[in-house]
Amino acid sequence: MPQTDKQICIPPELPELLKQFTKAAIRTQPQDLIQWAAEYFGAMSRGEIPPIRERSERVALSNWAELTPELLKILHSRVAGRLIIHTDELAQMWKVLNLPTDLFNSVMNVGRFTEEIEWLKFLALACSSLGVTIAKTLKIVCEVLSSDHDGGPARIPFSTFQFLYTYIAEVDGEISASHVSRMLSYIEQEV
């Protein structure tokens, strides 16, 4: 094979880019590296947060990442404002983040979702796996949905809160509709 005298020009940002990618891959430990790399570089090219496990997140003893509000926030950014998402697409996003398949299936079963998933309902049920109580679940879902970065309380539109609270209470089955209505009226007056 003949050699050429041409020098290969390496872009100056390439070594740092590859170093950051490698560190992210090691930290995240994706099951499907190629798919995860496509998601990683796709997010970077769109100026979004790439699907990286943060240092503060505890590494699970299994091959699965633990569900965290931070990972749900990444998932929410990937859904990109859509109200409805197809099951296969959401399952792929879940897989790229290396989240437990059994948890995905559990949320699907509890929500009785089929081919088309109402994203906010799925998100609320996923948050409920992190929160012991409805109040804690609502706090987590507000943190995931909030775009406030000032360190204050997470804020979402009241109509969104009303929808989520009503849905979670309905799924829970132990809170009467009249109690939900009274609680929402009280909160709306306070806001």
What is the three-state SS of 101-115?
A: HHHHHHHHHHHCCCC
Q: Which amino acid is at 58?
A: R
Whether the pTM exceeds 0.95: the reply is: no
What pLDDT, on a 0 to 100 scale, did the predictor assign at position 96? Answer: 87
What pLDDT, on a 0 to 100 scale, did the predictor assign at position 56? Answer: 41
Task: For the chain, list residues with pLDDT below 50.
Answer: 55-63
Other CB atoms within 10 A of residue 34 CB: 8
Q: Which amino acid is at 175?
A: I
* Length of the chain (residues): 191
Structure tokens at 18: 């590859």
Q: Please provide the average confidence, as pLDDT, over all residues in the chain.
A: 83
For 129-176, the pLDDT digits (tens) are: 887 788 888 889 999 998 776 666 778 888 899 999 999 888 888 888
What pLDDT, on a 0 to 100 scale, did the predictor assign at position 58? Answer: 38
Contact yes or no for 169/175 (Cβ under 8 A) = yes
Q: Which amino acid is at 164?
A: L
> At residue 86, what are phi and psi to the nearest 5 degrees?
-75, 145
